[in-house]
Chains A and B, each alone.
Chain A
């Protein structure tokens, strides 16, 4: 059958669907659904980690290999620092920029090192918005409860309380820097409703929230003249031989040389893992989302939490082929867009949490109610034209200009036709264990943003990540800057790496991959 015939089914059933409301699943049904269809429950994809702080814990094979991997740094690397800083921030996304700006503001000498260009990150792609409980009928407490529910009650309560309570203050910081959040008629920040939230709580900059925030933060980092090391990938941390972190080794991606930075405190803000393509999933993540920070912290002895759970965003593009894996904004569902199977039926309340919606889509496809493309992919429809039927012509262009453009490039008009979607690997729910100031159990090693874990439980709620980045980036930056004032630079050793290598040998682990990965190996090599 051709594409048009399939799409016609969606057009024909629209009016009928508009009259339906789908109930959300009961907690028991949610659980059954997720256990049966969510990729987190595919036994085959998992194995125990063989050694290190999380020895015996299960995670996906791709991550286990990365954590057990071999450092590219030779044991006899000369350890003279090329540069020194009070606070070394690794990663140029939202968490890294927030940390660097706050540490710099406190008077610390900061270096911001990043693998690609400053701001080339996952943060720049966030479209849906940032959750902050500011509406009159909303409260931080309700935000707390919604997030807990979304995270299956596995969230770290302390971290979560800090995040929701500092949300409004951090929103003010961004407003004061000139971030242009959408406004209500009365000049207040407009809030929109997001999946899994009981109240409208999403602050947005049309569908360019991350881009707008990152444009401003990058501009400010440059205004403050914070020294940058771009195209420099952290490949190993440095320790003082007594378990505290004292800096990092980078590889300059232009000339492959090692660069050593000595620092009193290090903040890892290296983002997520999408480019590991866990379980073969396509991903919405940026080029550098290879989980480097997890591997670095792990080798240093920092324990990880909840690394057996990942977020597969319900709406990854399936067609056209050029867009595979890319995110289709959740805003469409927030605004009432339906998910529709091949027969033209809805099958899940579109505003349920991501894990539930993704599981439902996988169920539809596994039971043969998905639409398949000739390249072997499968998906269900997201009824975008419905938005204009409900809100009038021009609504998509007004509220979702980025998405209109995303499809227009390949000749697809989302105002006229629905789009095919399937879950895409989106977010690492867990990460390095941190306290409320972003510090790990390894002294003077801080982690902020997606690389950290615990806050989101087993499923992150939409819009909570941008808030997480800003709040914990700030707290890590401030704490690290304070710490640096009252201490001396420690010595630089690779003692932790020697120990890690000894552990690997002891456990008979060989054939290790080189870790961190730095960039995915997409370049085709001659066969």
Chain B
């Protein structure tokens, strides 16, 4: 039958796809053998580690799995998300414990001048010393240093765009020599951008009024009385 024929024919069989081999990695200082190319997270499970703190979405979105790693012969320690990074031979890595950063609290809608208020909420923000460590630490390749400066200069729009990819892993925080938590500054600036400096969506407000004014009541009365067959036809026919 055709199927059997396809079975061999439709297989991607080159070496790098197969990845059958084992590699040596060092996890928190101990050496282990794990299959090449699996994620750091899977390597932890594979080697018998129970992961509670340090795993969240498993898809590269929540930032729970911040990790430090170093590859063979390279002195540079890099950062990554353990659920979204592959192991390679000679790699050493450890999960990063949570860092006790201070988050300011605020009521955004009551702030009068959020761009100025930034300096009260996060007085350390303007003390950035341009070391660029935060940018280098960011696994999402955000120009964090630039973002901090933009926030300080009141360009909240740019901050909100630059930090849309921020997964709040917090890796930019412990490295900061000025004790800034850039990701928290960014959340503040982005939210302020939304609350204070973004156009009000008029179409949305109009729709809310239309609903409150009962504009759809007739349609509802008609639809909610329909039998299943009538509903089927009605839903099949909407354009």
Contact = CB atoms under 8 A, between A and B. Distances in A.
A205 B50 CA distance: 34
B64 A3 contact: no
A496 interface: no
B208 A116 contact: no
A368 B10 contact: yes
Contacts of A321: 19, 37-38
A104 interface: no
Contacts of B234: 145
A222 B105 contact: yes
A72 B39 CA distance: 32
Nearest to A205: B164
Given A180-B193, A374-B18, A522 B45 contact: yes
Interface stretch (A49-57, A181-189, A500-508): A181-189
B10 A405 contact: no
Interface residues of B, number: 85
Contact of A208 (B19, B46, B165, B199): B165
B88 to A, nearest CB: 12
Nearest to A522: B45
A525 B49 CA distance: 9
Given A145-B223, A172-B205, A321-B19, A374 B13 contact: yes
Given A211-B167, A342-B10, A188 B211 contact: no
B62 interface: yes
Given A183-B199, A215-B168, A287 B55 contact: yes
A286 B59 contact: yes
Contact of B45 (A327, A371, A374, A524): A524
Given A208-B165, A215-B168, A524-B47, A2 B204 contact: no
B58 interface: yes
B161 to A, nearest CB: 9
B190 A3 contact: no
B226 to A, nearest CB: 10
Range of interface residues on A (Cβ < 8 Å): 35 or more
B126 interface: no
Nearest to B168: A215
B60 interface: yes
A223 B106 CA distance: 6
Interface of B: 2-3, 5-7, 9-14, 17-19, 37-39, 42, 45-53, 55-62, 64, 84-86, 103, 105-109, 140-141, 160, 164-168, 187-188, 190-195, 198-205, 207-208, 211, 216, 219-220, 223-224, 228, 231-232, 234-236, 238-239
The 8 residue pairs across chains A and B that have the minimum distance between CB atoms: A120-B56, A178-B191, A178-B194, A187-B199, A368-B6, A149-B235, A145-B235, A368-B3
Interface of A: 1-3, 6, 27, 116-117, 119-122, 124-125, 133-136, 139-142, 144-146, 148-149, 153, 157, 161, 165, 168-169, 171-172, 175-181, 183, 187-189, 198, 205-206, 208, 210-212, 215-216, 219, 222-223, 225, 231, 253-254, 284, 286-288, 319-322, 326-327, 342, 367-375, 401-402, 405-406, 409-410, 519, 522-526
